Structure 1
Amino acid sequence: MEYFLLGILIFISIGSFNYAQETTPLEVSKNQCDGSCIQFLKSLLDNVGAMQKLWKVCDISKLTNIQSRLDKIEDQMVTQEENSASFSKAIEETKQKLLEQSKLIDKKKHSFLKPFQKIGSKYYYIEKQQKTNWFGAVHRCSEFGGHLISLDSQSELDAIIPHLDAKRFYWIDVNNLSEKGVYRSLTTGVRSTFLNWKRNEPNNARGKENCVHLQDSNFVMNDHICGDLFYFICESFNE
């Protein structure tokens, strides 16, 4: 038994020696490189993997940043579109209001502007509904685009008389407001060339009668207090 075990040990020793002798330096180098080369390659692959992960992180960060900017631009565009829509709506509403105001003004103008009628060689407007004082008559005729009638002759007055009411008084533009006793035409600013006074007129009763109107069936002239309310006759500037 002892010899058998000794023989086995000798056989193993000889086999190991022969293997050592038969192994070349290159093979030894290869055997030694197996572990270190694998370790190196593993480390290299790990580094490559880490770099790929880093690149992915960088790419994701860049993409996230770009997407964030795009989102902001989109929000700004949406806000701008909303503001533009609101601005357009405001403009449209303003235009509509201006149009309504224009229509209202036109309506009021038509309600105030009175048509002049041709009588003889001139155009006149005879107020038949609303009384006013002399100053109000001046203003109303101006609104109508004319002036208080400035009579030049008896023939002009005769042409108008058929259109007047004998029971009414009518203001004309003659007055002596600028100089007592001197009756001027407000339209021309000079002494009236035609004055057809009622008998015993002008008398400047109570020292307050400074404006002239037509009265009676033959529509003679009378001086009167400017503040009293009468009808009036307007004359157009355009003949």
Structure 2
Amino acid sequence: MLKYALLCGLLALNLSGALTESDMICRLTDAPSQCGAFCLSALAPVFNSLRIPHNLENSSDLSKANEVLVRQNTMDSQLTALQNKLASIEVALTSLQDKLASIEVALDAQARNLANNEQNFTKRLNGLESRLSDQEEEVLKGVTKIKYVGFQRIGSKYYYIEQESPKNWSVAAETCRSMGGNLADIKDAADLAAIQLNLKVNTNYWLGINGFANKYQYLSLSTGKNVPYLHWGAVVSGSTTNPPNFNCVVQNNGNMYSVGCYRNNLFICQTEG
């Protein structure tokens, strides 16, 4: 009976002022029966404040409470696992960002290398184009030399002087065309003097000058326009400067004369080269 009285006293002391002095008096006449009821009535305010069900002996309520605790523990575990996963994802994202930064640096370096290579390639290409242009020019010069075999630079143009086979004016003109040129017209007095140094004296050489349209107007065979230069020789006594049917011009000893186109003479071809 003494132990029941002590239990009631301890419970009363632990109520923290919630019970009155009269409530803490435990008058025991039947300790086993009275103390149990007293303790329950004394602890009722504590149970109510803790919101604990009064019927704790109900197994269904205990099962539900345990189920709630288990679910709470499970959710806590899942939350912890999710937080760990988020932390891992953050670490992976940080690593990925570092890798992307490294890739950007590498791409920038490659872009600079490509730009440098493009500049070098452009320089090499320009150099090759320049060399190719020089080679094409040399080839063209070689082709010109082959095409105009026998032509030589005299004054401002290239000339071929036929010294062996006289022909009439029309055949001489066709021969010059087959060689890639035309019967010559003379640019100026300097060209006339330079050509004369390569001609036989007292010998007629056909020029590409004619007066077919108008015997008083002499045109260039190569251009169809007025000739750039004429230097007529002295008229022989008793003759005229432009006799009838004398529509073709020759050069003789540095002078020009109109003669019949049917005659056979040596001739001079020209090309611009």
Greater C-alpha Rg = 2
Q: TM-score w.r.t. structure 1 length? A: 0.49
More helix by share: 1
Q: TM-score w.r.t. structure 2 length? A: 0.43
Q: Which has the higher contact order (CA 8 A, sep 6+)?
A: 1
